[in-house]
Chains A and B, each alone.
Chain A
Amino acid sequence: MMDTAISAKPLLAVLVSLCVVPVLAYSRSPNVREGWTFVAGLLKLLIVASMVPTVLKGNRIEWTIARFLPGADLALRVDPLGMLLALVSSSLWIVTSAYSIGYMRGLKEHSQTRYYCFFALALSATVGVAFSANLLTAYLFYEMLSFATYPLVTHHQDREARISGRKYLAYIVGASIGLVLPAMLVTYQLAGTLEFRSGGILGQVNSHSLLMVLLLLFVFGFAKAAIMPLHAWLPAAMVAPTPVSALLHAVAVVKVGAFCILRVITGIFGRELLLAQHLGVILCIIASFTILTASLIALSQDELKRRLAFSTISQLSYIVLGAALLSPKAMTGGMVHIAMHAFGKITLFFCAGAIYVATGIQKIREMDGIGRRMPITMAAFFIGSLSVIGLPPTGGLFSKWYMALGTLQAHQWVFLVVLLLSSLLNAAYFLPIVYKAFFCPPQEPTFEHTSTEAPIWCLIPLVITASCSIVLFFYPGPFFKLAELAVLK
């Protein structure tokens, strides 16, 4: 039997990084500032982790902050799916903070205090979305995340950053105000509530076309999930410092987009309704199109971070595809993919940043032979690639495996082909980088003997996340347990 505990813990988990912002802003020295970031990160992870046992027992934790509208309060609720996202983002925040120290100091970036402040703010918003009890709360934190990441994306404050920032806001906030807000209002008008319920809240609506329009408004409106054609902001956002790309544009921000779509599918529409109205297939087609097209575009990108960005676009649609297949296995796979892809992709971004800090190289064609100079970094890159492709011995295997099983369970063979084809494409755009790095001779002889890795603060985090990817191959249990609980409810 499911119990619901009332506790302020989820609120604390959100607030801890919010409260540290003024402390960061007024820290006297960089060391104190980064120290506080770690303190906040550890506290956040501890608070989130302390709720795991309760959630694994199948119970919920709730807290209402303020009363907004009848049926849509500002309320938090910890459930398995939310816990999955919160756990991934809060644990990776600590690793990224360490990486930020190496990267930002290594490059002598300006305005580092602002950077750490908004980073903390973004993490608050992410955990807020993860623990939202209803769509309105999720929307609130979603918007907060959009605005908190704007100064991070535009950190360099030059012309390029300005244009990218404009694109970022236009796509993300434009879509959320233009598409999600009306969809949310219509949903509220139809259902009288916005709460996420396991059976959905739109059960009494019969009109197929209305439901389809609503679903599409939600799916495209949460543009952080970067479903084509609303994906162009993600490659543009790569102008940000690499830790931002790593944590926000491979984990927090984009996963929040996919997470919101998951919530809409499971909590607003409900599996039965989507099955009965045959709406899942449409979503599958949209997601498959993005998966394949983005992978193909990734093949042609020469800038490493841009290639990673298109890879992310493609992988995010895996999550959506998994959920849209509506079979229990595929949904589990899609949810676990949030975690598996996070660890793999953040490793890849860390590597890209480490290469940039150590050598200033951003283009793939200049990376011939770089494996000799940075063996540890490139080994980690290899592991990250394996995880994203979905090969053993990395955790990425399992999420794709479950999704593949899910296509069979749902009797949708076509999408099995999509998954396999896309895995081949993933291999085609990642493995050549690794091959060239280790087996091609460097173009310039200066690379030859110097084995200069990036600063230690850059190196350790990427080793940690790469090993996590491997550990997840052997112990994927907790994440699967959470995802299965989320599907079962």
Chain B
Amino acid sequence: MNAQMPVLIVVVPLLSAFAIAAAGWFNRRLCMPTAAAALGVATLCTLGLLLRVIQDGEVVYRLGGWAAPWGIVYRVDFLNAPVLVLVAAIALVNLVATSRIVVEEFPGKEGAFYALYVLFVTGLLGMVVTGDAFNLYVLLEIASITGYALIAMGRGRAVLASLNYVFMGTIGACFYLLGIGYLYIMTGSLNMTDIASFLPPLYSSKAVITAFIIIMVGVWLKMALFPLHGWLPNAYTYAPSSVSSLVAPLMTKVMVYVMIRIILTVFTPAFTFRALGLNQAVVWLAVAAIFMGSLMALAQRNLKRMLTYILIAEVGYMVGGAWLGNRAGLTGAVLHILNDGLMTFCLFLAAGNILYRVRGLNMEDLRGLFRKMPFTMGGFVIGALSIIGVPPTCGFFSKWYLILGGIQAGHYGFVVALLFSSLVNLILFFRIIEVGYFEPHSEHRHEGQDHAPSMEEAPVGMVVSLLIVASGLILAGLYAGDIVQRVVNLAIPESIV
């Protein structure tokens, strides 16, 4: 059992997806518990793997016992172990938190919904755990296609937004596949470490450089790096809230992980950061993403849409940090994968809770929310503080490392962009907090003269999940030192200083 953990985190959800789909025909009440059980097992396995990695270092698992270049290898190290925990835990908490919405929003379709949900998570977990470049593509497609379907389950323009996403996402995946094809032609292998061992003599080859760039473009498209972000705001805004709080925190983060994996494991830092000479350009692209995302977020009047643009800015944080090419920047990027996953999850959950009661997320719908939903708004404020980067929430620490990386690399454009985005986030969130707190306007009130609406919180399960995630933000901040020292530091090759 212990030795099989790497494969169980993929196989258990994969098989349970079929069971859930079948249960959908017989007894729909079984769908959610089955999904929860499968994701629970997956979460436990990821936790066990993380502990094992911390204790013994890298874990390698050969599927079916086939050795590396021929068989598929799952490889868990300090880089992907924490991402696995993040994906599995968020998927599980979101499943429990939104079960009530799902029943009300998709009556009769629980089987399909949960099957897709679990398949999506399978895809993400597989992408993170695999050590095989082509296997990654397959799992990427599993995650993408189920993601399109989940988003299309929303109302109104969701179908159109999803279709747009299908086009852009498919192009992205094709770019990735094309790049892997080039690498296969050049090296004759699909295993990541295997490719890495063949590549060094070929680094000056135009085909390898083209492969690298094509792969990067594909990955950037999937993670919505400016200017390849066009599909994201609509897709995540019109998605049902139970889906957006799953897809929005995870999909972009996993793609950032894939990018870092390719930079560090398939290629070497020496190639990416020195031989290629694209660092400065990519970091400037990230700077543009941060500025653009922040400014566009300012222009939004809808909470969820605003969050999607913040997400685009955050992708800029991580891409920029990774491409700074120094230890502080990469530490920030990897730490931010975890932190940003948690923070965006917290905010999208809060948005879901609000939407459950208010039926609209435009500014004017948010009036008097602090009276109406004090606990939800409490969780929302903690998430907001984390995005702004206020200690001791975890957002502060990844931002700290990112800015430090910018200073060390002498890339002051990136430093300015991060500070600018923090200040814009302050405005963004306090604009919402103001509406929730001050409106509807009234004269000077006295005791017992409250005209504001009475309390009308979201169901307990939703609120409790939100508060657990919110306190997780603070805990992740308080333990940031340990996380960096015991995990993130070891995920970054020693050659990077």
The reply to whether B438 and A157 form a contact with Cβ atoms under 8 Å apart is yes
Question: Chain B contacts of A67 at CB under 8 A?
Answer: 481-482, 485
The reply to whether A177 and B423 form a contact with Cβ atoms under 8 Å apart is yes
Partner of B419, one of A140, A158, A182: A182
Mask: chain B, 399-415; 1 = CB below 8 Å from A; 0 = not: 01001100110000001
Question: Chain B contacts of A110 at CB under 8 A?
Answer: 445-450
Q: How far is the CB of A152 from chain B (nearest CB, A)?
A: 13
- Interface residues of A, dominant DSSP: helix
Q: Answer whether A185 and B441 are a contact pair too, CB < 8 Å, given A68-B481, A74-B478, A109-B446.
A: no
Q: Which of B118-126, B250-258, B388-396 contacts A (4 or more CB under 8 A)?
A: B388-396
The reply to whether A108 and B426 form a contact with Cβ atoms under 8 Å apart is no
Q: Answer whether A158 and B437 are a contact pair too, CB < 8 Å, given A174-B426, A185-B404, A189-B404.
A: no
Q: How far is the CB of A124 from chain B (nearest CB, A)?
A: 13
The reply to whether A158 and B441 form a contact with Cβ atoms under 8 Å apart is yes
Q: How far is the CB of A145 from chain B (nearest CB, A)?
A: 11
| Chain B stretch 440-493: residues in CB contact (< 8 A) with chain A | 441-450, 478-482, 484-485
Q: How far is the CB of A139 from chain B (nearest CB, A)?
A: 7
Partner of A69, one of B388, B392, B400: B400
Q: With an 8 A cutoff between CB atoms, is B422 at the interface?
A: yes
Q: Which of A36-44, A95-103, A159-167, A279-287 contacts B (4 or more CB under 8 A)?
A: A159-167
The reply to whether B446 and A108 form a contact with Cβ atoms under 8 Å apart is yes
Q: With an 8 A cutoff between CB atoms, is A112 at the interface?
A: yes
Mask: chain A, 173-216; 1 = CB below 8 Å from B; 0 = not: 11001100110011011000000000000000000000000000
The reply to whether A178 and B482 form a contact with Cβ atoms under 8 Å apart is no
Q: With an 8 A cutoff between CB atoms, is A143 at the interface?
A: yes
Q: Answer whether A68 and B480 are a contact pair too, CB < 8 Å, given A159-B441, A182-B419, A185-B403.
A: yes
**In the complex, A110→B479 CA distance in Å?**
39
Q: With an 8 A cutoff between CB atoms, is A422 at the interface?
A: no
The reply to whether B391 and A136 form a contact with Cβ atoms under 8 Å apart is yes
Question: Chain A contacts of B415 at CB under 8 A?
Answer: 182
Partner of B481, one of A73, A159, A166, A177: A73
Q: With an 8 A cutoff between CB atoms, is B397 at the interface?
A: yes
**In the complex, A256→B434 CA distance in Å?**
26
The reply to whether A189 and B422 form a contact with Cβ atoms under 8 Å apart is no
The reply to whether B407 and A147 form a contact with Cβ atoms under 8 Å apart is no
Q: How far is the CB of B336 from chain A (nearest CB, A)?
A: 15
Mask: chain A, 52-74; 1 = CB below 8 Å from B; 0 = not: 00000000000001111100011
The reply to whether B407 and A189 form a contact with Cβ atoms under 8 Å apart is yes
The reply to whether B390 and A147 form a contact with Cβ atoms under 8 Å apart is yes
Q: Answer whether A178 and B390 are a contact pair too, CB < 8 Å, given A109-B446, A110-B449, A166-B434.
A: no
**In the complex, A196→B158 CA distance in Å?**
55
The reply to whether B430 and A162 form a contact with Cβ atoms under 8 Å apart is no
The reply to whether A143 and B391 form a contact with Cβ atoms under 8 Å apart is yes
**In the complex, A169→B437 CA distance in Å?**
15
| Chain B stretch 56-101: residues in CB contact (< 8 A) with chain A | none
Q: How far is the CB of A187 from chain B (nearest CB, A)?
A: 11
The reply to whether B426 and A177 form a contact with Cβ atoms under 8 Å apart is yes
Question: Chain B contacts of A189 at CB under 8 A?
Answer: 404, 407-408
**In the complex, A108→B434 CA distance in Å?**
24
Q: With an 8 A cutoff between CB atoms, is A154 at the interface?
A: yes
Mask: chain A, 430-453; 1 = CB below 8 Å from B; 0 = not: 000000000000000000000000
Q: With an 8 A cutoff between CB atoms, is A9 at the interface?
A: no
Question: Chain A contacts of B442 at CB under 8 A?
Answer: 157-158
Size category, A interface: 35 or more
- The residue on B at minimum CB distance from A107 is B446
Question: Chain B contacts of A140 at CB under 8 A?
Answer: 391-392
**In the complex, A140→B394 CA distance in Å?**
12
**In the complex, A158→B350 CA distance in Å?**
26
Q: With an 8 A cutoff between CB atoms, is B286 at the interface?
A: no
The reply to whether A143 and B480 form a contact with Cβ atoms under 8 Å apart is no
The reply to whether A66 and B434 form a contact with Cβ atoms under 8 Å apart is no
Q: With an 8 A cutoff between CB atoms, is B248 at the interface?
A: no
Question: Chain A contacts of B243 at CB under 8 A?
Answer: none
Q: How far is the CB of B335 from chain A (nearest CB, A)?
A: 12
Partner of B423, one of A109, A139, A174: A174
- The residue on A at minimum CB distance from B401 is A69
Partner of A156, one of B389, B444, B450: B444
**In the complex, A305→B446 CA distance in Å?**
21
Q: With an 8 A cutoff between CB atoms, is B385 at the interface?
A: yes
Question: Chain A contacts of B426 at CB under 8 A?
Answer: 169, 173-174, 177
**In the complex, A166→B438 CA distance in Å?**
12
- The residue on B at minimum CB distance from A157 is B438
- The residue on B at minimum CB distance from A188 is B404
Question: Chain B contacts of A166 at CB under 8 A?
Answer: 430, 434
Partner of B447, one of A65, A112, A186: A112
**In the complex, A68→B484 CA distance in Å?**
9
Question: Chain A contacts of B438 at CB under 8 A?
Answer: 154, 157-159, 161-162
The reply to whether A147 and B392 form a contact with Cβ atoms under 8 Å apart is no
**In the complex, A166→B430 CA distance in Å?**
8
Partner of A66, one of B390, B407, B481: B481
Partner of A157, one of B404, B437, B447: B437
Mask: chain A, 61-99; 1 = CB below 8 Å from B; 0 = not: 000011111000110000000000000000000000000
**In the complex, A437→B333 CA distance in Å?**
64
Of B385, B423, B438, B484, most buried by chain A (CB within 10 Å of CB) is: B438
**In the complex, A168→B241 CA distance in Å?**
34
Q: How far is the CB of B176 from chain A (nearest CB, A)?
A: 36
- The residue on B at minimum CB distance from A139 is B391
Question: Chain B contacts of A107 at CB under 8 A?
Answer: 446
Question: Chain A contacts of B478 at CB under 8 A?
Answer: 65-66, 74
17 A-B residue pairings within 8 Å (CB atoms): A67-B485, A73-B481, A74-B392, A108-B446, A110-B449, A139-B391, A140-B391, A144-B390, A154-B437, A154-B438, A157-B445, A158-B442, A161-B438, A173-B426, A177-B419, A181-B419, A185-B407
List the 8 closest pairs (A to B, CB-CB), nearest first.
A67-B481, A140-B391, A110-B445, A108-B446, A66-B478, A162-B438, A108-B447, A68-B481
Besides A182-B403, A189-B408, 19 other CB < 8 A contacts? A65-B478, A66-B479, A67-B482, A68-B391, A68-B397, A69-B400, A108-B447, A109-B446, A112-B447, A140-B392, A154-B438, A158-B444, A161-B438, A165-B434, A169-B426, A177-B423, A182-B419, A185-B400, A185-B407
